[in-house]
């Protein structure tokens, strides 16, 4: 089974540039989550979608960040304009529909390491 696929794995760009991170969730999963991980702040939930609809974006740091899920198999996280403090590892995770005990685990991609110079 293919897991959650994120691209690119690494991105280095200059301050002010637009950055787009991509995620392909596991087929059949209906929830998708974007996280950011830094040494200082740990793992932060940015936004999550259910059935392609954004449910909670309270973790999105500011208006420079936006996320979309145009269909069940693709999501993007965009930063425009990017700043050095956005440097982090960004993870996407997906989760299957509720079943069994109703508490399905999230499945994580291997992340995008973003460096803004």
Which residues contact another protein (rule: CB under 8 A)? 4, 33, 42-43, 45, 48, 50, 55-56, 91, 93, 98, 101, 103, 105-111
Distance CA 75, CA 47 (A): 11
Closest separation between CB of residue 20 and another protein, Å?
19
Nearer to another protein among residue 2 and residue 14 (C-beta): 2
Closest separation between CB of residue 81 and another protein, Å?
27
Nearer to another protein among residue 43 and residue 117 (C-beta): 43
| Exposed e or buried b per residue across 90-114, where buried means at least 16 C-beta atoms within 10 angstroms of its C-beta | bbbbbbbeeeeeeebebbebebbeb
Strand 112-116 to 10-13 pairing: parallel
């Amino acid at each position: 089974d293919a897991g959650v696929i994120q691209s690119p794995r690494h991105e280095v760009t200059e301050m002010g540039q637009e950055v787009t991170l991509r995620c392909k969730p596991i087929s059949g999963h209906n929830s998708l989550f974007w996280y950011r991980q830094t040494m200082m702040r740990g793992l932060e939930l940015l936004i999550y979608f259910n059935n392609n609809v954004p449910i909670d974006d309270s973790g999105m740091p500011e208006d420079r960040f936006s996320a979309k899920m145009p269909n069940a198999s693709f999501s993007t996280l965009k930063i425009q304009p990017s700043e050095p403090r956005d440097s982090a590892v960004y993870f996407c995770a997906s989760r299957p529909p509720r079943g069994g005990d109703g508490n399905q685990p999230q499945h994580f991609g291997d992340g995008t390491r973003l460096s803004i110079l």
